[in-house]
Structure 1
Amino acid sequence: MPDYRRWATISIYLLPILLLVASLFVGRYQMPAPLIVADIVNTIISFISGTASPMSTQHTVLFSVRLPRILAALLVGSSLSLAGVSFQGVFRNPLVSPYILGVGAGAGFGACLGILLWDSQLAIQLLSFACGLIAMFGAISMGKVSKGTGTLVFVLSGIIVGSIFTALISLAKYVADPYDDLPEIVFWLMGSLSSIRYNDLLWIIVPMLLGTLVLFLLRWRINILSLGDEEARSLGVNVDQIRLIIIICATLITSAAVSISGVIGWVGLVVPHIARMIVGPNYNRLLPMSMVIGASFMLLVDDLARTVTATEIPLGIITSLLGAPLFAYLLKRGRMGWN
């Protein structure tokens, strides 16, 4: 690898850290930059020395409002990108997204149930996570009992399951209180990180880490699966078993991400193509690069969402406005880097 490409790659890997620090200075609550730096330094010193951190409005905004939201954006962006690139390799289709098996619609319906029945943040997240997994298992079960073979039957099963859950979401909107529950449902479905706190991050870390670890351990097998089923079987890979494990792990991290952020489109579809253009189709490099770019992209989108206007813009709107033109540009360039 030439030196300039090596340094460019290193810069991309450092980008999430730089954006994390920069995002602490961004927000509608205006704070002088020197005071922010001083508060960060004092908090680090207090943490190292084991003393209590100084409590102030500025400290609360920085570390109880902005920091958990920034961490959530990094986790959601990296998870959706990792799931998207894994699905694209397993299904050998550059148009596949993390929601291909109906996970987005299933998680959305779970959130609708939580809003209608309990209106509790924890209930919304748990039901969203559970229904996303139910949608995935429904699509897999439907694919296994059908007479079709290959990955196409899973895609079609995902479309069926997604349509069913989309209809159930419409039914939930129809019966919801138009003055209380319905606006909350609509806003959740458009995606937001405005209410994230540290407790919300703690319980999603486990499924995200578990799914990510397994996908990284199987990254060379994704390389083989992307060659086709016949080639993979000839190399001694149990195609059906490995594909099922990868689908479950990718869905696990997708459901965990959607449960705290809502349904955010285009991230898991576009980011893998950008990473593929930078490092090529080898999943040993493609998986970490997709996660880094996805985390950076999601954090930039969240910064825009909370600063562009006086009222916060839903994340799904911004990702669609940015993702669709970017994907059109990638299509214009052709399938460079896919094979």
Structure 2
Amino acid sequence: MNRVTRLAALRRAAATATSLSQTGSLQQAAPFSSSASSHWFSGRFGGNFGSTSPASHYLPSNGVAGTMFFSVAAATSLSQEAHAKEPLQSQIFKEVVLYQYEACPFCNKVKAFLDYYDIPYKVVEVNPISKKEIKWSDYKKVPILTVDGEPMNDSSVIIESLFKRMHPEGSPGSSTNTEDEKKWVGWVNGHLVHVLSPNIYRTAGEALESFDYIASHGNFSFTEKLVAKYAGATAMYFVAKKLKKKYNITDERESLYQSADTWVDALKGQPFLGGSKPNLADLAVFGVLRPIRHLQSGRDMVEHTRIGDWYSRMEKAVGESCRVTA
């Protein structure tokens, strides 16, 4: 049963529950290539950390890429959540394909947008060594998104382009991109991403943990997985030290904690920066944090800051993945 069908079924169940309740038959029922979008890997490392990516200054040319019982009441609740999200966009885009690294925060930033707006997409995991999956492209970084055969690069450019197609100028929702929203999207690209790398690769153990995804994603040989995990983790461990110095970060975790609480303060007591529902800034923060959430750095962040409640609300708002099998 596909996503649209499931949502339709939940809405029918909710409608039935409401009808029965009104007739008295039912008692009330009690989850780094522009400078503004710098991505984590460059050159042979392949992550889209940007043409001005700090990583590109340090990584060797032959490096390896990485980071990284429905009750009626339940049916009613899920139906309400479905209505709270943006309308389904499956009819606007016929075929969407994301070329990615599973652990890349900017790839996850694009996925958060696609999931929230209910845009079905296929995923192609790129081999970080050979990059054979994107040999057709002159652009050798991720994410790359093809929409009905048209390729797009750079997470911010991808999201802006999709948003404009969904909300043509003059249409409802086309003018919701406020200055405050733009400011915080810029903060994600210009500040938050620079804090992540020194935290993810803070120790040798954490660096290896961030590369565990290699073992279970993509069409990689056993040897390629070993090389990608251990060589990649080693390289990024040293890159993180240089990034820490470049951005004057004295304490990695404290910088991460301050960034998380700065974001919570920006909400000003609202559920989301967008108010009652997420805006593009909410999706950007959530997207880049999602791949670290269950790493040691992400667990520490949630334990030592106030960001946990917002993150949980975002998980519910974004909902399940709209990824479809090829």
Do they superpose with TM above 0.5?
no
More relative contact order, 1 or 2 (CA 8 Å, 6+ apart)? 1
TM-score (normalised: structure 1): 0.26
Q: Relative to total residues, which structure has the larger strand share, 1 or 2?
A: 2
Q: Relative to total residues, which structure has the larger helix share, 1 or 2?
A: 1
TM-score (normalised: structure 2): 0.27
